[in-house]
Structure 1
Amino acid sequence: MQIEDIIAAPFIPLSVILRDHAERRGPAIAIADETARISWADLDTMLDRVAAALQREGVAANEPVAIAASNAVNTALAFLGALRAGAVAAPLTSTAAPATVLAMLADSGSRVLFLDSAMAAGLEGLPFPAQVQRIALDDSDVGVPFSKWIAPEGAKPEERLPRPEDPFNIIYSSGTTGTPKGIVQSHQMRHEYVRRGLGSGFDDDSATICSTPLYSNTTLVSFLPTLTAAGKVVLMKKFDARSFLELSERERVTHAMLVPVQYRRIMEHPDFDSFDLTSYRLKTCTSAPFPAWLKADVLKRWPGGLVEGYGLTEGGATTNLVAHKHPDKLHTVGQPSPGHVIKIIDEDGNELPPGATGEIVGRSPIMMNGYHGQPAKSREMEWFDADGNRYLRHGDVGRFDEDGFLILMDRAKDMIISGGFNIYPTDLESELTRQSAVREAAVVGIPSDQWGETPLAVVVLADPAADPEAIRTEANRALGKTQRIARIEVVDELPRSPIGKVLKRELRDHFGGNPIAQTPVLSSDSKETNDA
């Protein structure tokens, strides 16, 4: 099966594609981690054995199968084997608090949980549901050892080919805005993701590093296209900049999907320029704001193209910034993908004209079925245009420039309303990080007796001797009167989700307990300067 055939087809089940590749690619490596490798032929055999074992356990078509484990070959086998069984892969956020993992498990309705000893250690002492069977992917004693559980060699599952609308996986939201929700993505939605990704230079010789967890959509949008193209996936259990560079050189990596904090750590590594990265064809980025200066550094020093993608795990619409073709647009997230429509609406749900700033809504062939078991939450995500077309709310504020490139202002929930003025934290963060003494910055709104809310900056210093008050003063000189920062707090590092999103809710909870009652005065017109 050729890539062109997959791109042209309205729908082909993933298991059919993988079996076809196995017949053609045989001994070539399909998936590797830092200690194990599996060929295409063995991958196909193992997926049959996992699928047959799941069916033996009574797992029905479209029944969720939970997975909570670190990146490894066996973790990938559990994910792909569940699909071959006709079930739904439900990878849980294994780095979440143990009680949250159990809540996800309960929400999914899974009767089978693949896990490893690290995950089991976190769950120890908690009330684990008796009806859920535990299978230890690392062959430890935290469940039935995987090597003993799988069906015997030569076993074949009953073929259960999915319909396009059937659920492919349940991805749990990161929980940065509260309790994680199960996002149900269909086989058709995944096929559309893959068709889009295959145009990025994937083929038999491609090799992709996956350095974020398999429970993340960020990972799956590179993991699945690589396998669909019959390439090789290299899984990292835990990201480390030097290990990433060593793997890239050793495995002759062609593709990588990274989040911005990973790019920063890689580019800051003192030995970066000593590694041979000439095998790279394309690097992609998503999940969090990607500073323009960092994009420029990647373009200058790292071979291969660079594309930033913007969108939601839930779907809606996506944009792509092909940075190596548009170096003058690094402050944007690019243009809508073909067949994707983005509109900007106001607080009352009215569509706004081109160039206006407002909430982003989008529609495309990539749209979730809904949140698992939460129809009311699903409806909250929807917006319908005058013709009745369904869009998903992105939860972000933005605008289009004169060339049709989308500029993100901020998350709607992170926007600060101070004295009646809208303040976008990204504007303040950009001003702070212009200063060489500031390595990273996050701005949140905290209570103010005078203005309702006021900006607080939390920074990581590049120069430990720098004066935070001097940094604040310098930033406020460049900011508008209504934008000025009331206070700066210094931390060793910003709290982040496992895929690199800054957890601003944690910053607000930690630093915003007591309202600022008195305004620090920086100028004679301070009454107009929004707590500055």
Structure 2
Amino acid sequence: MSDFETAINLDFGVIAELVHLHAQASPERAALADATRTFSYGELDALMDRIAASLQRDGLRAGDAIAVCAASSVGYAAVFLGALRAGVAVAPLAPGSTPASLARMIEDAGARILFVDEAAAEVIGPAASGAIPRIALDGSRAGVDFEAWLESAGARPTAVELQPSSPFNIIYSSGTTGEPKGIVQGHGMRWAHVKRGAKYEYGPDTVTLLSTPLYSNTTLVVFFPTIAFGGCVVLMPKFDAAGYLKLAERHRVTHTMLVPVQYQRLMAHPDFGAHDLSSFRFKFSTSAPFNAALKGDVLARWPGGLIEFYGMTEGGGTCILEAHLHPDKLHTVGRPAEGSDIRLIDEAGKEVARGEAGEVVGHSAGMMVGYHRQPAKTREAEWFDPEGKRFIRTGDVGRFDDDGFLTLFDRKKDMIISGGFNIYPSDLETVLRGHAAVADAAVIGVPSEQWGETPVAFVVQRAGDDTTAEVLLQWVNAQLGKTQRLARLQFIDELPRSAIGKVLKRELRELDAR
């Protein structure tokens, strides 16, 4: 048995150590590629050592954090992996967030260093990251040049000892207004994702094309298994259907992760059938509702298996739909994955009877440590069974069929998923209420051919105010991140509410559909 086979069969291991094993066995094999450069495993391993040593030189220790805010690139990926080798947690941030949101996330993470590119630095602004050092990944003037910051060739870091609970990364779920929620995922959670990858034929000949950003957990659940098993990740900084199809054919791609709206655009592209996609083994999807008809179209016209993951960045249980094996279950999100305990509970926190609908809660080896520095929010996200077993609440309502497949009916928390990104209506409502013209407001998600869902606002205008809906829409969208902007804004005399004062968003959806 090889050193790699011994390591991958352990109950717990460290992904950064697997890179070193691949570098020893096959130093020339490609590990990372983007439009400008390619790193072999030997080159990546050496660069990870230099990055880890540089972080330690700057005083960072295991458990400290850095932040990265940039477009996907091999340099970005190398920094992520190099930080892990030093035991440093990574907070990957969305450049499309507002400057205020980014400032709060950087502060909340306790980031000691910020890695940026020029475009992200312009969004963040000069003061958002405070006094912490900035390192420019792209050779721009956004910070200290990355090459100048690096320790010299041959530098080696001091080895660190990591546990399953050691922080791996901090993924931020939102943060337009109020306090952002940083989801701390441990090394044990990521190792569970890697172990799951063995089922999907990851290996040294894997070529994974990723067009979703590296700050998204959607991307990382495929990125890390590819690297762990010695495959090559091809990074596409910005998705477009024509460019994706060309790269997939050119690189003979075997694996990919796409959100449903990307599948929709690819299947609708007039040249889809002209590209040779016969190299594909598995295509994955997560993060948003995946229409059954679209799944069927992918199965009919795109070679290879289609896998849908249902779960949360916070972790807990996962459901998996192997769509190519169960074409009669495309309306579901599949069955609980091996090692996942998925249950349904009612409003009182009691498990529902078989065949009844309830809120989905899950337990597995892959669960967040908690929300960073927010123990109260962590407790709100947890449910414990009568024996004390810890579960993560999803906020989604579903029901199991007789074959054990889960069908989702509604998102209890009214979260909107647009283009694969989570949008929280309460964030947008708070911004709206900050305008003098707004007496009350509610935001709902409505179907969108382009994005899957898009946010729409209903606003009660203050008496005597003459602000137009168009002016208010422009104002609020200027306060929001790119992925959060409202598609429409409509004035309404009064928001529909229940007897206990809750806004009846179902009625708003019906009103919007008229």
- TM score, norm. by length of structure 2: 0.82
User: Who is 2:304 aligned against?
Assistant: 304
Given that 1:52 and 1:157 are in contact with CA atoms closer than 8 Å, whether structure 2 keeps it comes out as yes
Structure 1 residue 180: deviation in Å?
3.2
Q: Deviations over 1:270-325 (max 9, x none)?
A: 10000000000000100000000000000000000001000011011000000000
Deviating beyond 4 angstroms after TM superposition, the runs of 4 or more aligned structure 1 residues are: 1-4, 174-179, 453-462
Structure 1 residue 12: deviation in Å?
1.4
User: Who is 2:264 aligned against?
Assistant: 264
Given that 2:101 and 2:175 are in contact with CA atoms closer than 8 Å, whether structure 1 keeps it comes out as no
Structure 1 residue 124: deviation in Å?
2.5
Distance 1:457 1:70 in 2: 27
User: Who is 1:109 aligned against?
Assistant: 110
Distance 1:374 1:390 in 2: 17
User: Who is 1:510 aligned against?
Assistant: 489
Over 3 Å counting, the alpha-carbon distance change for 1:513 and 1:30 in structure 2 is farther
Structure 1 residue 89: deviation in Å?
1.4
Show the 5 A alignment for 1:131-150: 132-150=132-150
Given that 2:104 and 2:179 are in contact with CA atoms closer than 8 Å, whether structure 1 keeps it comes out as no
Over 3 Å counting, the alpha-carbon distance change for 1:457 and 1:170 in structure 2 is closer
User: Who is 1:88 aligned against?
Assistant: 89
Distance 2:280 2:214 in 1: 22
Distance 2:250 2:60 in 1: 40
Secondary structure of the corresponding residue to residue 191 of structure 1: helix
Distance 1:186 1:76 in 2: 18
Structure 1 residue 413: deviation in Å?
2.1
Aligned-residue Cα RMSD (Å) equals 3.1
Show the 5 A alignment for 1:419-430: none
Match status 1:53 vs 2:32: no
Secondary structure of the corresponding residue to residue 138 of structure 2: coil
Q: Deviations over 1:245-280 (max 9, x none)?
A: 111001110000110011001111110000000000
Distance 1:100 1:139 in 2: 25
Structure 1 residue 456: deviation in Å?
7.9
Q: Deviations over 1:436-483 (max 9, x none)?
A: xxxxxx9x999xxxxxx9998845579xxxxxxxxxxxxxxxxxxxxx
User: Who is 1:222 aligned against?
Assistant: 222
Given that 1:287 and 1:499 are in contact with CA atoms closer than 8 Å, whether structure 2 keeps it comes out as no
Structure 1 residue 165: deviation in Å?
1.8
Match status 1:293 vs 2:272: no
Distance 2:268 2:187 in 1: 39
Aligned-pair identity (%): 50
Aligned residues: 455
Distance 2:299 2:206 in 1: 20
Structure 1 residue 16: deviation in Å?
1.3
Distance 1:220 1:454 in 2: 33
Distance 2:16 2:100 in 1: 33
- TM score, norm. by length of structure 1: 0.80
User: Who is 2:334 aligned against?
Assistant: 334
Distance 2:493 2:177 in 1: 21
Given that 2:66 and 2:91 are in contact with CA atoms closer than 8 Å, whether structure 1 keeps it comes out as yes
Given that 2:207 and 2:251 are in contact with CA atoms closer than 8 Å, whether structure 1 keeps it comes out as yes
Given that 1:361 and 1:391 are in contact with CA atoms closer than 8 Å, whether structure 2 keeps it comes out as yes
User: Who is 1:419 aligned against?
Assistant: none
Structure 1 residue 61: deviation in Å?
1.4
Q: Deviations over 1:378-408 (max 9, x none)?
A: 0000111111111110010111111110001
Unaligned stretches of 5+ residues in structure 1: 416-424, 427-441, 447-452, 463-490, 518-529
Given that 2:28 and 2:41 are in contact with CA atoms closer than 8 Å, whether structure 1 keeps it comes out as yes
Distance 1:186 1:460 in 2: 35
Deviates more, 1:84-93 or 1:334-343: 84-93
Distance 2:74 2:115 in 1: 13
Aligned partner of 1:40: which letter? Y
Match status 1:155 vs 2:155: yes
Structure 1 residue 128: deviation in Å?
3.8
Over 3 Å counting, the alpha-carbon distance change for 1:4 and 1:331 in structure 2 is farther
Secondary structure of the corresponding residue to residue 344 of structure 2: strand
User: Who is 2:404 aligned against?
Assistant: 404
Q: Deviations over 1:149-200 (max 9, x none)?
A: 1000111111113122211111111459975311111111110111012210
Aligned partner of 2:161: which letter? L
User: Who is 2:467 aligned against?
Assistant: none
Given that 1:25 and 1:230 are in contact with CA atoms closer than 8 Å, whether structure 2 keeps it comes out as no
Given that 2:63 and 2:167 are in contact with CA atoms closer than 8 Å, whether structure 1 keeps it comes out as yes
User: Who is 2:460 aligned against?
Assistant: none
Structure 1 residue 21: deviation in Å?
0.4
Match status 1:386 vs 2:408: no
Q: Deviations over 1:12-59 (max 9, x none)?
A: 111211100011111111000111111111001101111111111111
Over 3 Å counting, the alpha-carbon distance change for 1:174 and 1:289 in structure 2 is farther
User: Who is 1:351 aligned against?
Assistant: 351
Distance 2:92 2:193 in 1: 18
Q: Deviations over 1:303-355 (max 9, x none)?
A: 00001000011011000000000000000000000111111111111110111
Secondary structure of the corresponding residue to residue 409 of structure 2: strand
Distance 1:34 1:180 in 2: 33
Given that 2:63 and 2:166 are in contact with CA atoms closer than 8 Å, whether structure 1 keeps it comes out as yes
Given that 2:245 and 2:272 are in contact with CA atoms closer than 8 Å, whether structure 1 keeps it comes out as yes
Secondary structure of the corresponding residue to residue 100 of structure 1: helix
Given that 1:320 and 1:334 are in contact with CA atoms closer than 8 Å, whether structure 2 keeps it comes out as yes
Match status 1:284 vs 2:284: yes
